[in-house]
C-alpha cells in the first residue's frame, strides 16, 4: 500500500496492527525530516482512502502520534508535525581559564581497577564469529525455545489490566505480591517450604548475589567457595572486596572436614550450587547436603544456595532436597533466566527472617524495584499454567540434547577425556587430561568453528582443573553433535602438539 509520501503497510503482519505500523512509519519520517516541523498530514478520511484502511485506523494512529507529542491537531485546520525537541547540549565556552585534564585512572576506585572487573568485561564483550560457528559457550535458551508469543500475551494483558500501575516504580521493593505468591507456590511444589512474604524479587539472580554481598561482606571478609565455580559470582564477590578461599573437594563435593579447618570469625558464608553446578554440571547427593547443613549449624557460617537452573530436571526419579528445604537459615537464590527467558531479568531470594529487611532496604536503594510490568506478566504466565507446560517441554528437549551430545563425545573425544551426564541443568563438563592447557584447547576449538568455555575463567586462585564447559541449551541436537566432532579434533591437535614438543631437560641437582 502506497501514497504520495511513500508509506507502506503490511496487512499480513498480525503481530503489529495497522495503526501501529502507520504510527511507526510517520515517526520514522518525522525523525528523518521527511516530514519537517509544520508539515500538514493528510486528513484521516483522505489517507484512509489512499491506503485502503478504515478511517478509525488512521484516526487511532493520529491520536497516538498526538499523545506522544509528535503532532498536534486543531479542529478545522488539520494535523501538523511538531518541532523536535532541541538539543540540550550547552554551547562551547569561549575564553576562560585553560581546561585541566581529568586523571580518570587516578580517580578510579580499587574495585573498578580490579582484575575481576576487567575479566568480566572481556567475557561479556560480544565478538562476531564466522557463519556456521557452533556456540557451546552461551548459557541461555535458543531463540526458538523461548515461548515468545505466550510471554507477550501475558505481558500485554498485564499492561492492559493494570495500566499506569504496571509502568510506575515497582511497589513494594521486595516485589509484587502476586508474583511472590506464584514463586512461593512453585517452590513448594519443588519441595521448598516457603511463604510469599519470605520471597524477595530481584533483577535476576546476579542482583540477588549482589544484594547478599552488600548485606554481608565488608572489604577483607572471607567467603568460602568451591575452587571451580561460577565466574559471575567470582567477579561480583571480588568487587565487593571479599577474600575468596577455595574449599578442598572430594568425590562427593566440598570436604566437610576441610571446612572445619577454615572457620574463622571473618568467614561470612559458603557459596554453593548444589544442583547443576556451573561449570561442572555436578549435583550433590543427599548425604553431602545434610552434612553441609550440620556443618553450617555447628559453625554458624551460613550457606548461600545458588539454584540458577531451578526446575530444569533431566532425569526421572526424586531429586535430592534443596538446602533451603533442610534449613531455614539457608539463603536461597534463583532466577527465571535459564528456565524461561534471560530478558525478563527476574530472579529471587528466599532469606532468613533476620536478613530479609536488610536485603529489602539495600534493594530499595540500589534499583527502586524490579520492573512491575515484567513481574505482573510473569505472574500471569505462571498462573495460567504456562510455566509448568513449558518446563515439561524443555525437560524432553534438553534431555535429548544432553544424550545426543554425550553420545557424540563418546564417539569423537580422545579416551583420556572424561565427563558425566548431568541430572539437572544445561551444563556438561569435559575433563581434559592432566597437563593439557584448557585455553589452548579453547582457542583451537574456536579456530575449528566451535565455542567452548575453558576452565581458567571459573577458577578461584591459581589451581585450575583442566576442563571445558559445554552448554546444551543454545544449539539444536544436530549442531551439538557436530560441535563435539570439532572439539574432538581440537583436543587431538593439542595432544599431538604436546607429544611432539621437546622435553625439558631436568634441572641439575645441587651438590652437597
Count: domains in the chain = 3
Residue 196: predicted pLDDT: 97
Q: Is 55 exposed, middle or buried (0-12, 13-18, 19+ CB in 10 A)?
A: middle
Residue 163: predicted pLDDT: 66
Helix (H) / strand (E) element for 265: namely none
Give every CB contact of residue 305 below 8 A, 6+ residues apart in sequence.
Answer: 272, 273, 274, 322, 323, 324, 330, 331, 332, 333
State whether 198 and 227 are in the same domain.
yes
Q: Is residue 118 part of a domain?
A: no
Q: Is residue 3 part of a domain?
A: no
CB 137 within 8 A of CB 451: yes
pTM as predicted: 0.82
- For residue 277, give the nearest of 289, 265, 268, 266 by alpha carbon: 289
Q: Examine the fold and report which residue of 359, 385, 411 is the final residue of a domain before the chain moves on.
A: 385
Q: Is 311 left (phi over 0), alpha (psi -120 to 50) or beta?
A: left
CATH number at residue 33: 1.10.10.10
CB 441 within 8 A of CB 454: yes
How is 187-218 classified by DSSP, letter by letter? Answer: HHHTT----GGGEEEESHHHHHHHHHHHHHPP
State whether 294 and 406 are in the same domain.
no
Rounded to 10°, the helix 372-383/148-162 angle is: 120
Residue numbers in the chain where pLDDT is lower than 50: 1-3, 505, 507-512
CB 448 within 8 A of CB 463: no
Q: Is residue 512 part of a domain?
A: no
Round to whole Å and give the CA distance between 338 and 307: 11
Cis omega (within 30 of 0) for bond into 483: no
CATH number at residue 216: 3.40.640.10
Whether the CA torsion 285, 290, 293, 298 is positive or negative: it is negative
Round to whole Å and give the CA distance between 41 and 59: 12
Helix (H) / strand (E) element for 326: namely helix 323-326
State whether 322 and 205 are in the same domain.
yes
Q: How is residue 240 written as a grid cell?
A: 565487593
Q: Is residue 93 part of a domain?
A: no
State whether 352 and 461 are in the same domain.
no
- For residue 131, give the nearest of 475, 449, 484, 477 by alpha carbon: 449
Round to whole Å and give the CA distance between 288 and 285: 6
Q: Is residue 101 part of a domain?
A: no
What sections of 413-473 are H helices per DSSP?
Answer: 438-447
Q: Is residue 99 part of a domain?
A: no
198-226 burial, b at 16+ Cβ within 10 Å, e below that, comes to bbbbbbbbbbbbbbbbbbbbeeebbbbbb
Residue 511: predicted pLDDT: 36
Give every CB contact of residue 105 below 8 A, 6+ residues apart in sequence.
Answer: none
- For residue 61, give the nearest of 9, 103, 124, 5 by alpha carbon: 9
Q: Is residue 91 part of a domain?
A: no
State whether 309 and 337 are in the same domain.
yes
Q: Examine the fold and report which residue of 385, 409, 436 is the final residue of a domain before the chain moves on.
A: 385
Range(s) of the domain holding residue 491 = 129-143+389-498
State whether 465 and 481 are in the same domain.
yes
| Matching residue, cell 551439538 | 480
State whether 328 and 419 are in the same domain.
no
Round to whole Å and give the CA distance between 263 and 267: 6
Per the DSSP assignment, residues forming a β-bridge with 134 are 450
State whether 60 and 153 are in the same domain.
no
- For residue 45, give the nearest of 35, 58, 60 by alpha carbon: 58
State whether 401 and 378 are in the same domain.
no
Q: Is 101 exposed, middle or buried (0-12, 13-18, 19+ CB in 10 A)?
A: exposed
State whether 42 and 189 are in the same domain.
no
Give every CB contact of residue 2 below 8 A, 6+ residues apart in sequence.
Answer: 8
CATH number at residue 415: 3.90.1150.10
Round to whole Å and give the CA distance between 202 and 283: 25
State whether 197 and 332 are in the same domain.
yes
Q: Is residue 122 part of a domain?
A: no
Q: How is residue 63 written as a grid cell?
A: 491520536
State whether 333 and 380 are in the same domain.
yes
Round to whole Å and give the CA distance between 243 and 461: 11
What single-letter DSSP state applies at residue 81? E
CB 359 within 8 A of CB 199: no
Amino acid at each position: 500500500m502506497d501514497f504520495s509520501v511513500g508509506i507502506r503497510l503490511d496487512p499480513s503482519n498480525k503481530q503489529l496492527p495497522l495503526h501501529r505500523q502507520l504510527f511507526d512509519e510517520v515517526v520514522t519520517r518525522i525523525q528523518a525530516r521527511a516530514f519537517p516541523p509544520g508539515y500538514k498530514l493528510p486528513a484521516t478520511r483522505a489517507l484512509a482512502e489512499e491506503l485502503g484502511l478504515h478511517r478509525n485506523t488512521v484516526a487511532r494512529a493520529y491520536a497516538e502520534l498526538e499523545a506522544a507529542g509528535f503532532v498536534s491537531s486543531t479542529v478545522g485546520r488539520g494535523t501538523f508535525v511538531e518541532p523536535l525537541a532541541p538539543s540540550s547540549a550547552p554551547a562551547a565556552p569561549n575564553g576562560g581559564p585553560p581546561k585541566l585534564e581529568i586523571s580518570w585512572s587516578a580517580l578510579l576506585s580499587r574495585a573498578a581497577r580490579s582484575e575481576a572487573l576487567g575479566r568480566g568485561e572481556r567475557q561479556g564483550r560480544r565478538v562476531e564469529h564466522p557463519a556456521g560457528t557452533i556456540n557451546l559457550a552461551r548459557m541461555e535458551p535458543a531463540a526458538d525455545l523461548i515461548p515468545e508469543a505466550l510471554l507477550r500475551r501475558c505481558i500485554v494483558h498485564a499492561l492492559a489490566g493494570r495500566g499506569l500501575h504496571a509502568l510506575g516504580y515497582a511497589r513494594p521493593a521486595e516485589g509484587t505480591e502476586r508474583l511472590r505468591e506464584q514463586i512461593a507456590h512453585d517452590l513448594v511444589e519443588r519441595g521448598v517450604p516457603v511463604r510469599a512474604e519470605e520471597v524477595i524479587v530481584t533483577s535476576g539472580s546476579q542482583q540477588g548475589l549482589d544484594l547478599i554481598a552488600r548485606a554481608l561482606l565488608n572489604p577483607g571478609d572471607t567467603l568460602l567457595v568451591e575452587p571451580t565455580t561460577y565466574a559471575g559470582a567470582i567477579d561480583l564477590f571480588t568487587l565487593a572486596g571479599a577474600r575468596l578461599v577455595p574449599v578442598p573437594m572430594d568425590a562427593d563435593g566440598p570436604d566437610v572436614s576441610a571446612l572445619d579447618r577454615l572457620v574463622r570469625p571473618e568467614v561470612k558464608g559458603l557459596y554453593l550450587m548444589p544442583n547443576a553446578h556451573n561449570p561442572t554440571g555436578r549435583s550433590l547427593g543427599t548425604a553431602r547436603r545434610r552434612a553441609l547443613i550440620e556443618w553450617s549449624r555447628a559453625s554458624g557460617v551460613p550457606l548461600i544456595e545458588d539454584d540458577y537452573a531451578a526446575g530444569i530436571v533431566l532425569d526421572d526419579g526424586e531429586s535430592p532436597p534443596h538446602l533451603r528445604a533442610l534449613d531455614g537459615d539457608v539463603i536461597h537464590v534463583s532466577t527465571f533466566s535459564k528456565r524461561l527467558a534471560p530478558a525478563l531479568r527476574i530472579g529471587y531470594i528466599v532469606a532468613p527472617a533476620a536478613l530479609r529487611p536488610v536485603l529489602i532496604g539495600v534493594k530499595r536503594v540500589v534499583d527502586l524495584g524490579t520492573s512491575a510490568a515484567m513481574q505482573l506478566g510473569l505472574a500471569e504466565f505462571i498462573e495460567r499454567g504456562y510455566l509448568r507446560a513449558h518446563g515439561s517441554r524443555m525437560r524432553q528437549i534438553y534431555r535429548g540434547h544432553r544424550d545426543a551430545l554425550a553420545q557424540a563425545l563418546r564417539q569423537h573425544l580422545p579416551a583420556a577425556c572424561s565427563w558425566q551426564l548431568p541430572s539437572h541443568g544445561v551444563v556438561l563438563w569435559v575433563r581434559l587430561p592432566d597437563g593439557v592447557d584448557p585455553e589452548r584447547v579453547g582457542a583451537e576449538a574456536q579456530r575449528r568453528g566451535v565455542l567452548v568455555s575453558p576452565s581458567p575463567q571459573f577458577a578461584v586462585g591459581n589451581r585450575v582443573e583442566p576442563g571445558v564447559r559445554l552448554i546444551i541449551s543454545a544449539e539444536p541436537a544436530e549442531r551439538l553433535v557436530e560441535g563435539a566432532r570439532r572439539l574432538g579434533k581440537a583436543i587431538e591437535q593439542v595432544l599431538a602438539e604436546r607429544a611432539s614438543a621437546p622435553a625439558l631437560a631436568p634441572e641439575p641437582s645441587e651438590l652437597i
